[in-house]
Amino acid sequence: DAKTTQPTSMDCAEGRAANLPCNHSTISGNEYVYWYRQIHSQGPQYIIHGLKNNETNEMASLIITEDRKSSTLILPHATLRDTAVYYCIPRGGGSQGNLIFGKGTKLSVKP
């Protein structure tokens, strides 16, 4: 499994875009990049995933570099409720297999 590097913490002003980076330079060709978040004391919540094309859904956008060694999760208009720990997780394509969680990035959205 690929190893990831994420900032320990980040701050963002409410209403502004939050850009969360993740380095996954050892990702293999069949591994997708998944993003989950964990709001304090709750179970992790799926956000988005992608292989090599940029992806967008109702929650966020995912930008993956052409060499696939890094990606950025974008929350376009962060709210206070987006304060959470965000995990970037490479995972085999089509796999129902287990998620390997690192320590993630603690995003604090401030008024």
Partner 1 sequence: NAGVTQTPKFQVLKTGQSMTLQCAQDMNHEYMSWYRQDPGMGLRLIHYSVGAGITDQGEVPNGYNVSRSTTEDFPLRLLSAAPSQTSVYFCASSQGTTQYFGPGTRLLVL
Give the interface with partner 1 as residue ranges (CB under 8 A). Answer: 32, 34, 41-46, 49, 87, 91, 93-96, 98-104
Q: CB of 14: closest distance to partner 1 in angstroms?
A: 26
In the bound state with partner 1, the residue whose beta carbon lies nearer, of 15 and 102, is: 102
Shortest CB 101 distance to partner 1, Å: 3
Q: How many CB atoms lie within 10 A of CB 27?
A: 22
**Which is nearer to partner 1, 14 or 34 (by Cβ)?**
34
Q: Toward partner 1, which CB reaches closer, 73 or 87? A: 87
List, as one string, the DSSP characters of 59-80.
S-EEEE-TTSSEEEEEETT--G
